[in-house]
């Protein structure tokens, strides 16, 4: 499977380190609506600072609404003006790589080239 930003990712040794198999419901802090701007990795946003950091080429996502909401609340006031909602998506193995590090609540999601975030994520309020 070819990932978005594949050319950059393959320059980093053992990136991504592993893939957690199976379907997962994952949550991401986004802008006020689901759009491509809310799904840009840190390596793109903060060039060249994170170009050589593997997880910076993936998307930060969480395994629960509560975990994502905690992250949202911990953002600085300035960042909260840009990120104010939480989106939920059901991600399966064909959508990309789900890398789970040492923090069991957090994943780095490396979407496949074909994965459309706008079609696969929707805003939720935690009552689902």
Peptide bond into 114 cis (omega under 30): no
The percent of residues in the chain predicted with pLDDT above 90, rounded, is: 75
Average pLDDT across the chain, whole number: 92
43 compared with 17, residue with greater pLDDT: 43
Burial class for 124, CB neighbours closer than 10 Å (0-12, 13-18, 19+) = middle
The arithmetic mean of pLDDT across residues 88-112, rounded, is 93
Q: What is the pLDDT of residue 95?
A: 97
Of the candidates 125, 128, 116, the one whose C-alpha atom is nearest the C-alpha of residue 35 is: 116
């Amino acid at each position: 499977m070819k990932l978005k930003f594949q050319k950059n990712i393959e320059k980093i040794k053992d990136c991504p380190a592993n893939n957690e198999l199976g379907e997962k419901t994952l949550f991401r802090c986004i802008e006020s609506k689901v759009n491509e701007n809310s799904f840009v990795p840190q390596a793109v946003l903060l060039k060249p600072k994170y170009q050589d950091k593997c997880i910076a080429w993936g998307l930060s996502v969480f395994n629960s609404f509560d975990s994502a909401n905690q992250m949202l609340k911990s953002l600085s006031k300035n960042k909260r003006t840009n990120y104010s909602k939480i989106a939920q998506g059901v991600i399966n193995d064909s959508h990309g790589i789900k890398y789970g590090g040492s923090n069991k609540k957090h994943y780095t999601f490396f979407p496949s080239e074909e994965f459309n975030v706008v079609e696969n994520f929707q805003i939720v309020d935690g009552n689902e």
